[in-house]
Amino acid sequence: MSQSWQVVVQEHDLIGEGPVWDASRRSLLWTDIAGRRIHRWDPASGAIWTRRLEQMAGAVLPRARGGMAFCLQDGVWLSDTDAGDLHRLVAVEPDEPNTRLNDVKTDRAGRLWGGTMALDARSDAGALYRIDGGGNVTAIDGPTTISNGIDWSPDGSLMYYIDSATHRLDVFDFDLVTGSAEERRPLVRFEASMGLPDGMSVDGAGGLWVAFYDGWAVHRFTPDGVLDRTVTLPIQRPTSCCFGGADLDLLYVTSARDGLTEAELREQPLAGAVFVVEPGVTGSVVTAFAG
Longest dimension (CA), the chain: 51
Q: From the candidates 32, 103, 151, 198, which is the catalytic residue?
A: 198
Annotation says 198 is catalytic = yes
Across 14-79, the runs of DSSP E, i.e. the strands, are 16-22, 27-32, 37-41, 48-52, 57-62, 68-72, 75-79
Cα(268)–Cα(262) distance, integer angstroms: 10
The answer to whether 114 and 123 have CB atoms below 8 angstroms apart is no
Q: Could you tell me how far CA 262 lies from the centroid of its own chain?
A: 27
Neighbours of 97 (CB within 10 A): 10
Pairing mode, strands 196-202 and 75-79: unpaired
The half-sphere exposure of 209 on its side-chain side, counting CA atoms within 13 A, is: 28
Q: Which of 120, 130, 123, 70 is nearest to 97 (CA)?
A: 120
**C-alpha torsion 6→41→203→160, nearest 10:** 120
* Active-site residue set: 198
